[in-house]
Amino acid sequence: AGLRPFERDVLRKTLEIPRGEVRTYAWVAREIGRPRALRAVGTALGRNPLPVLIPCHRVIRTDGTLGEYSGGGTEAKRAMLRWEGVDPAWLEHLAAAGTRFVGSRGTGVFCMPTCRHVRRVQAANRVPFHDEREAMGAGFRPCATCRPVAATGSGAG
């Protein structure tokens, strides 16, 4: 489809994001070994030739807001996420509060807010965190499944 190697890397990584979960542009950039290429990740996702099959709607801004969607804009992105079981209003609430990660008091693990592991944690046992340094400073360790330390551009982890 005329994609450059970087763009193919971005789209392949995006394919790995599980249904019903989201990751950030920074997470994608870090996962493909280009941690400073956040804007380029966004550009690559905007060139996604198959926006429904390659789930770029599962990639959100590093600040936790939804961002754009090449398959029909923000409202289409909200609808796609809802269809997959994600509550966009909850994500937007977390973003407004500055919450980027959610920890479990029971396991001592922190995750991306939509990680399947944290979704099973009862609300009373959830701990909100603004960044990975705050979570690790509180004695929490990153989830091995969603790899939240790759979610921000701060360089931690």
- Return the SS3 of 135: helix
Residue 120 class from Cβ within 10 Å (0-12 exposed, 13-18 middle, 19+ buried)?
exposed
Please give the angle made by the CA atoms of 123, 101 and 89, to the nearest 5 degrees: 65
Q: Of the residues 56, 111, 115, 146, which is catalytic?
A: 56
For 88, residues 6+ apart whose C-beta sits below 8 A from its C-beta are 66, 77, 78, 81, 82
**Is 146 assigned a catalytic role?**
no
Residue type present at position 26: A
Positions annotated as catalytic residues are 56
